[in-house]
Amino acid sequence: MKKFLVALVALLPMAATASGSTSTTYWWSTQNGVDGVNNGFNDLTINNSDEVVGQPFANIGLNITGWSDHNPANDPTNIQSNKEAYDQTVGQAHIYHWGSSKKVGVVNSDENVNTSGDHAIDNGTSNNSYWADQDMVLLSFTSSVVLKGLQVSWQDLGSDGALNIGAIEVNQSQVADMKSGNKSWSDIFDSTQMLSISDYIDTTQYYSINNPSQRASSMWLVGFYNEGGDNYDAFKLMGVGGSKMVTAVSEPSIFALFAMGLMLIGRRKFRA
């Protein structure tokens, strides 16, 4: 009997509960955002993800703020006639939106909110090629998220016919550098590590993000990784897709329960 019990114990790990990781993609639509003011600048907060067909709501909030390298205050080479060519210092910018879908754009201190192109997320301005401010949006989630894709409502492609944007996960220290008023984008992140976008689907205006290693973060920067010049790009953000890894645990198998029952019976007989 003792040998029999030992054999059962050896088999139990094989029959025990199994676990694995799965992910569900959620969606945050700017249409459901609530306008606010963050440190004197406009921002947009989405309290929960949207419910997708067959998928539940994700209890994860999202706050969107705008940033740009548009502050020449600490730049001794500043020349009034083309000051934007020398902008290097990152600072917070305004988030603006238009229409019922709240299409999100960024307006920095060198731009005019009423000018088409200027009030989008861009890497220059529509009026002067010297203006080469790199706009970014900071996506701050209330939980760690694997960024999956971006939906744009409007885009203006540069001379290469592509939207040259990317996404990179950032931490609290990097955000502190963004707020410091004396850092450039190259000081804050390495553009070679930015995840690129691909697979633009015209009917849904959706770009997927190349994230094969499932990099996750509660804070993501999305925007341009190169200065403007002749390759001026612009877009307005309408939605963000992401997923959260969930560990699933299965129920104990029938064999495992049967084996445990035999163990208890055998133990009682052995004691008797």
Question: pLDDT tens, 180-231?
Answer: 988 988 899 998 899 999 878 888 889 999 999 999 999 999 998 765 556 7
Question: pLDDT tens, 233-256?
Answer: 889 999 999 998 655 444 454 445
CB neighbours (10 Å) of residue 197? 21
Same-domain pairing of 100 and 48: yes
For position 39, what pLDDT does the model report? 84
Band (pLDDT 50/70/90 cuts) for residue 147 is very high
Look up the domain containing 79 and give its range: 26-248
Same-domain pairing of 53 and 2: no
Band (pLDDT 50/70/90 cuts) for residue 159 is confident
Residue 115 vs residue 47, higher pLDDT: 47
The phi-psi region of residue 99 (left if phi > 0; otherwise alpha if psi is between -120 and 50; otherwise beta) is left
Same-domain pairing of 93 and 201: yes
Same-domain pairing of 157 and 41: yes
What's the structural domain count of the chain? 2
For position 22, what pLDDT does the model report? 52
For position 158, what pLDDT does the model report? 75
Q: Which residues of 87-100 are buried (b: 16+ CB within 10 A; e: fewer)?
A: bbbbbbbbbbbeee
Residue with tokens 């094969």: 212
Question: pLDDT tens, 90-119?
Answer: 999 999 887 777 899 998 877 778 777 678
- Name the nearest CA neighbour of 64 among 89, 40, 24, 36: 36
pTM of the model: 0.78
Determine the Cα–Cα distance for residues 60 and 218; give it in Å rounded to an integer: 10
Question: pLDDT tens, 4-45?
Answer: 434 433 433 444 444 445 578 899 999 999 999 988 899 999
Determine the Cα–Cα distance for residues 90 and 231; give it in Å rounded to an integer: 21
Determine the Cα–Cα distance for residues 221 and 198; give it in Å rounded to an integer: 17
Same-domain pairing of 267 and 242: no
Same-domain pairing of 11 and 62: no
Instruction: Return the amino acid letter for 190.
Output: D
Dihedrals phi, psi of 68, to nearest 5 degrees: -160, 155
Q: Which residues contact 114 (CB under 8 A, 6 or more apart)?
A: none
Question: pLDDT tens, 54-94?
Answer: 777 788 999 999 999 875 454 444 444 444 455 678 999 99
Same-domain pairing of 166 and 197: yes
Same-domain pairing of 146 and 272: no
For position 146, what pLDDT does the model report? 95
Determine the Cα–Cα distance for residues 163 and 230; give it in Å rounded to an integer: 13
Same-domain pairing of 84 and 7: no
Determine the Cα–Cα distance for residues 149 and 202; give it in Å rounded to an integer: 14
For position 16, what pLDDT does the model report? 43
Same-domain pairing of 158 and 169: yes
Same-domain pairing of 177 and 263: no
Same-domain pairing of 208 and 257: no
Band (pLDDT 50/70/90 cuts) for residue 131 is low
